[in-house]
A and B are shown apart, each in its own frame.
Chain A
């Protein structure tokens, strides 16, 4: 039953990740608040989780030519350096502080998400205003 629930949580978060809207953030919340994992362990599971999910979504996105490789390459190169630094910082931080930092980060993200406008109507309105 526990495993079934885990598969289901993974499935749901996987669909969101495939859309590119933060399935991972939700999974870390699930793991810490509902499944009782420690903050760092939950983060580790989520990193693992992202690999197959992203790889499978990526194949389809690449086929549909949605990926801007000239953006990807410099971003990934630079990001790998800061990812290593960030992961090192997380490993050397007190768990309670990491958890609170994550909480603050989530609230910032939530505000961004809630303020998001419907992209199709949003761009249409801008165009009309310009004309």
Chain B
């Protein structure tokens, strides 16, 4: 029961971020799943995706109703994403992700700075 409550809390945090920013739910969810819910790293990654998928659908529904969706503009990204997602899933068990985390951290730090100042 306690585990269920902890999972629900982690999901609630991810949902709020997903709705507000349309991204980043996983970045919040993965540390919560490993620390709060005691999932091992690989399970946490996969479980986070399974949680965020329905959250995205709910957020999309609201964005759509508010007129913030541009389907045709998104299509090329979707095509690339479908391919990349499959590739990522296949490589998942073979790769050391720590360097990707570091690279991503630097990119996001730069982007976040530009957003705040710009």
Contacts and interface: CB of A to CB of B under 8 A. Distances in A.
Interface in B1-30: 3-5, 7-30
Contact of A75 (B10, B66, B90, B91): B10
A10 B25 CA distance: 18
A42 B22 contact: yes
A53 B8 contact: no
A79 B80 contact: no
Contacts of B112: 102-107, 109-110
Given A44-B69, A77-B8, A114 B116 contact: no
Interface of A: 3, 6-29, 32-33, 37, 40-62, 64, 66-91, 98-107, 109-114, 116-119
- Chain A, interface SS category: helix
A60 B104 contact: no
A24 B80 contact: no
B49 A20 contact: yes
Contacts of B29: 75
A21 B81 contact: no
Interface string B42-72: 1111111111111111111111001011110
Interface residues of B, number: 100
Interface of B: 3-5, 7-31, 33, 37, 39, 41-63, 66, 68-71, 73-74, 76-93, 95-98, 100-102, 104-109, 111-118
A125 B51 CA distance: 31
Given A46-B23, A75-B11, A110-B112, A86 B53 contact: no
A54 B88 contact: no
B12 A79 contact: yes
Given A21-B104, A78-B9, A86-B18, 8 more contacts: A25-B24, A42-B22, A49-B77, A57-B49, A70-B7, A86-B19, A87-B59, A113-B101
A90 B52 CA distance: 18
Contacts of B59: 47, 83-84, 86-87
- Interface centre among A14, A23, A87, A116, by most chain B C-beta atoms within 10 angstroms, is A87
A66 B43 contact: yes
